[in-house]
Amino acid sequence: MTPSQFKIFSDFRSSFRSYCDELSSAYGEDLKPLQVAARLKDTPEYPIETPVVYNTALDEITQESEIRLIVIGDNPGKDEQRSYNQKYLVGQSGKIAAGFFLKNPEFQTDFRKNAIILNKTPLHTAKTNHLKYLLKNGGEKIAKIISESQIYMAQKTAQLHKDLCAAASEGGIAPEVWLVGYAELKGKGLFLEYRDELKKSYGESQAWEKVFVFQHFSMNRFSIDLNNFMKSHADFTILEAAHELGRIHKNEIFK
């Protein structure tokens, strides 16, 4: 990153860390019993260690880091919230994502070194759809923070991306945004507030052209979707196919 880009990122990182600390202090004890109850139906027991998860992998990014992607997942799962992790996309979905980029060097991306990984909310649940339990049983207080955290993350992520792209004119890389988790961004999905606030926050910025939408990496849905697309677009390189598919899904989501 250029010095300006690293300053932009460092300010974002500091603000995001403080935000997660504030949420944890204010809501952590309210969230824990709900997170435990939400997983009872379909998830083996595990300790709830971090109800609100800051991504400590951000602390490993330095000015020498070549950031090519901002990847936006859903919310931290059971592996992500473990005290020895506290990092995003380190479970099976993250391993699939890392494997995809390793197998496709055309993207010039090491998932663990060249990507800023964020979520649509830092609130933990074992599975993303468990957020529905929190919304239903947590009362107005929890419903409000689920909503507000989505809006916060959308605003801060859009601003980070816009600023990094603007500062790339000094010789840095203008990163792309890969917004994964297509299903929960449409219909009655969990992250409609994130979706709407994200688009609003970009305004007329040209950085919006570098935002792409995909299926989630979980259960290999991203790769299956991309491979199916390439079957009917045999003349595309994998880079071209990913960008075109990401634009198609983006147009479907952001109508």
Work out the pLDDT band at 188, boundaries 50, 70, 90.
very high
Query: Tokens for 26?
Result: 């204010």
Q: What angle do CA 82, 84, 89 make, to 5 degrees?
A: 60
Q: Is the pLDDT confidence value at 195 over 90?
A: yes
Nearest to 128 by CA among 178, 191, 72, 199: 191
Cα(218)–Cα(216) distance, rounded to whole angstroms?
5
Q: Is the pLDDT confidence value at 9 over 90?
A: yes
List pLDDT tens digits, range 41-76. 899 999 999 999 999 999 999 999 999 999 999 999
Give the pLDDT score at 76.
98
- HEC assignment per residue over the chain: CCHHHHHHHHHHHHHHHHHHHHHHHHHHHHHHHHHHHHHCCCCCCCCCCCCECCCHHHHHCCCCCCCCEEEECCCCCCCCCCCCCCCCCCCHHHHHHHHHHHHCHHHCCCCCCCEEEECCCCECCCCHHHHHHHHHHCHHHHHHHHHHHHHHHHHHHHHHHHHHHHHHHHCCCCCEEEEECHHHHCCCCCCHHHHHHHHHHHCCCHHHHHEEEECCCHHHHHHHHHHHHHHCCCCCCHHHHHHHHHHHHHHHHCC
Determine what percent of the chain is predicted with pLDDT higher than 70. Answer: 100
Instruction: For the beta carbon of residue 179, count every other beta carbon within 10 angstroms.
Output: 26
Mean pLDDT value of segment 10-36: 98
Please name the amino acid found at residue 145.
Answer: I
- Chain center to CA of 5: 20
Give the pLDDT score at 42.
94
Mean pLDDT value of segment 8-20: 98
Q: Is the pLDDT confidence value at 170 over 90?
A: no
Cα(200)–Cα(180) distance, rounded to whole angstroms?
18
Work out the pLDDT band at 210, boundaries 50, 70, 90.
very high
Give the pLDDT score at 255.
80
Cα(95)–Cα(38) distance, rounded to whole angstroms?
25
Number of domains into which the chain is organized: 1
Cα(7)–Cα(98) distance, rounded to whole angstroms?
27
Give the pLDDT score at 7.
98
C-alpha radius of gyration, the chain, whole number: 18
CB 120 within 8 A of CB 181: yes
Give the pLDDT score at 83.
96
Please name the amino acid found at residue 4.
Answer: S
Q: Write down the pTM of the prediction.
A: 0.97
Q: Which residues pair with 123 in a beta bridge?
A: 52
Give the pLDDT score at 38.
97
Instruction: Provide the residue range defining the domain that includes 108.
Output: 3-253
Looking at per-residue pLDDT, the higher value among 77 and 255 belongs to 77
Place of tokens 């479907």: 252
